[in-house]
Amino acid sequence: MRSTSKTETLLRLARAGPLRARDLAAVGIPRTYLRRLSDRGLLERLDRGLYGLPDAPATELHTIAQVAKRVPHATIALLSALQVHGLTTEAPHAVWILIDRGARTPRLAHPKLEVVHASGAAREHGVEQHAIEGVEVHITSPAKTVADCFRYRRHVGLDVAIAALREYLRRPEGTRTRKTGRRPGSPIDVLVDAANADRVYSVLRPYLEALA
């Protein structure tokens, strides 16, 4: 592959989202090209081992995309997932992630991380895939995020968990039938499933009955 072709390929990849050095191996481009293009001002070093276009538009979820790229085995959760799903108006001071109980806690210079651990259903239930700034992001679903807030209420605060539940129930798709109080497959059923996966239904139930 010619030098100009490698440069064009690298810039095309960067337009799709942040790049890690190891991403270049799949297209046969030496890692030294990242440094070369950075020196020429065509790429910008976002963090250790992470590069992007200097004029790339950054969204309010930019740090989430960065973390998803740097820690691909993590799931965006709790306050950060609330932000993505529009269940809060607060911008978290860190990116919250959920990882396997036995996994090593990642260390990043930036952005700041808040890490919680889980295993089994509490780790695997309700994980969705979203695209943020061209990066594939694993993130807990709205229902699982609310359940997680109750599971990790000592980390995020019970007031945050209750507020998230209230916002979840306010959504149009959260309307219930008058006869049964809920319909099969309704958002409340989905939330109950998530709470059972997290083993916090007994904690969540009084608040759900009060707000639903």
pLDDT at 3 over 70: no
Cα–Cα distance for residue pair 64/82, rounded to 1 Å: 12
Average pLDDT for 111-134: 93
Average pLDDT for 3-24: 77
pLDDT at 135 over 60: yes
Output the pLDDT for position 82.
95
pLDDT band at 97; cut points 50, 70, 90: very high
Output the pLDDT for position 57.
59
- Residue (of 155, 182, 178, 134) closest to 78 by Cα position: 155
Percent of the chain with pLDDT over 90: 50
Q: Is 197 exposed, middle or buried (0-12, 13-18, 19+ CB in 10 A)?
A: buried
pLDDT at 184 over 60: no
Q: Comparing 27 with 188, which gets the higher pLDDT?
A: 188
Per DSSP bridges, beta strands 50-52 and 19-20 are antiparallel
Mean of per-residue pLDDT scores for the chain = 86
pLDDT band at 2; cut points 50, 70, 90: low
Output the pLDDT for position 123.
97
Tens digit of each residue's pLDDT (9 = 90 or more) over 149-176: 999 999 999 999 999 999 999 876 543 4
Distances (CA, A) of 82 to 16, 61, 144, 145: 25, 12, 10, 7
Q: Comparing 74 with 18, which gets the higher pLDDT?
A: 74
pLDDT at 181 over 60: no
